[in-house]
Amino acid sequence: MNILDYLEMRGDLTFSERPFNEIDNLVFSVLAYLDMKDIVSEEFVFDVSLKRLCKQYLALGYDQSYIVNDPKILLKKIALCKRYERVRVGGYYHYVSQDDQVQFSCATFMLGDGTAYVGFSGTDDTLAGWREDFNFTFMESTRGQDEAAAYLNRLGGCTFCPLRVGGHSKGGNFAVYGAAFCDQRLRDDRITEIYSNDGPGFKKSIAGSEQFQAIMDRTLKIVPESSIVGILLSGTVNTKVVKSTAKGISQHGFYTWKVRCDRFLEAGSLSQSSAFMDETIKRWMDSLEDEKKQAVVSAVFDSIQASGATTLTELNASKWVSYNAILKAARSIDPAVYGDIAESLKKLAGAGKDVLWDEAKKAFMRKEPEEPSEEEA
């Protein structure tokens, strides 16, 4: 079973019959990816049902198949479910800027049971969005993270119900950051649950802050067993590892997560490859100063943006033109920055070898000593 099977099997049960659960959290995190412009108001006026959202989304011909897991698939199913027929959507806010290096999108879902779910979208097709993901590694806060906290503050001033906050991928990071750094009264009195669905973590300075620690008991991170995205950076939170029908990075796709009734099917622990990647990347990140991380990210993305493309789709549509523009831009990079890139890659490779050696030593130490032979005895 996956999230789509859940809608078919449990979609006829209202929230009063079966309370909100972790699968519902993922449902709204997926819906947060939807392009809702010309359908849902930016104002906190909740007058759009999911059935109406689906009808207008299809009528307008919106196509988001460039996203690895097209949210339209879920939208078409959820529009038929009794469980979500009272849900109303409002407060759709979308902001993308290459100059500000931000890709931010979210909406609020009034569930009809006196509570609301604020869903933050993960990374889309824009280069600005992907660049922001890498900015997490050296910035105290990105524009998108600040927008998340500001959005919750605006919502808090217009509504009075308990709030759940969540998102998938980068949206999970925004949900946790926004909940931690919004107004204290809103954070402490109104936000009841926070979900990060395979979302990356934070710099240590953020993860160790008083605001971050204040929400840990209400935060749940859900990651697939071979997670790559969800293990990035810091932030010790309650984590549930779930089984997936896919392998490797494909497990980041939410349609691959296994479901049993109203909860995810737990895997127990991260796979060996995910644990190895986690330790390798942490060592690599710890070995680089923020200034060098920034230099590497800027050099790479400035070169890519020199192609004139603003999305991955545009980049892929004219590969040779893009390649030549990127190559030309790369040749103009400061040699010192080239050295930073080379050093970064060298440290990444070295961190992986260290981890591999450490694991070998641990395995050797765990091995039970063999019983001595009769001759040795």
Looking at 11-20, 129-138, 218-227, which range is the least confident one? 129-138
Domains and CATH numbers, the chain: 3-270 (3.40.50), 281-362 (no CATH)
Q: How confident is the model at residue 64 (pLDDT cuts 50, 70, 90)?
A: very high
pLDDT reported for residue 131: 83
Percent of the chain with pLDDT over 90: 54
Per-residue pLDDT tens over the stretch 293-351: 787 778 778 877 778 888 877 777 777 766 676 667 666 767 776 676 666 666 656 65
- Which tokens sit at 283? 């060592």
pLDDT of residue 377 exceeding 50, the answer is no
Looking at 103-107, 186-190, 210-214, 251-255, which range is the least confident one? 251-255
pLDDT of residue 1 exceeding 60, the answer is yes
pLDDT reported for residue 82: 96
Closest CA to 352 of 295, 285, 305, 292: 285
Beta-carbon contacts of 370 under 8 Å, excluding residues fewer than 6 positions away, are none
The answer to whether the beta carbons of residues 306 and 325 sit under 8 Å apart is yes
pLDDT reported for residue 369: 47
Looking at 120-124, 219-223, 258-262, 288-292, which range is the least confident one? 288-292
pLDDT of residue 85 exceeding 50, the answer is yes
Pairing of strands 263-264, 259-260: antiparallel
- Which tokens sit at 295? 């230099």
pLDDT reported for residue 42: 97
* Winning range, highest mean pLDDT, from 41-55, 66-80, 213-227, 362-376: 41-55
Q: What is the mean pLDDT of residues 32-50?
A: 97
Beta-carbon contacts of 266 under 8 Å, excluding residues fewer than 6 positions away, are 240, 241, 242, 243
pLDDT reported for residue 104: 95
Percent of the chain with pLDDT over 70: 81
* Between 113 and 301, the higher pLDDT residue: 113
Q: How confident is the model at residue 372 (pLDDT cuts 50, 70, 90)?
A: very low
The answer to whether the beta carbons of residues 191 and 219 sit under 8 Å apart is no
pLDDT of residue 282 exceeding 90, the answer is no
The answer to whether the beta carbons of residues 351 and 283 sit under 8 Å apart is yes
pLDDT reported for residue 368: 47
- Distance between CA atoms of 31 and 266, rounded to whole angstroms? 23
Q: What is the mean pLDDT of residues 12-26?
A: 96
Looking at 80-84, 259-263, 315-319, which range is the least confident one? 315-319
- Distance between CA atoms of 171 and 337, rounded to whole angstroms? 31
pLDDT of residue 373 exceeding 60, the answer is no
Question: Average model confidence (pLDDT) for the chain?
Answer: 85
- Distance between CA atoms of 280 and 299, rounded to whole angstroms? 23
Looking at 13-27, 69-83, 164-178, 283-297, which range is the least confident one? 283-297
- Distance between CA atoms of 181 and 214, rounded to whole angstroms? 10
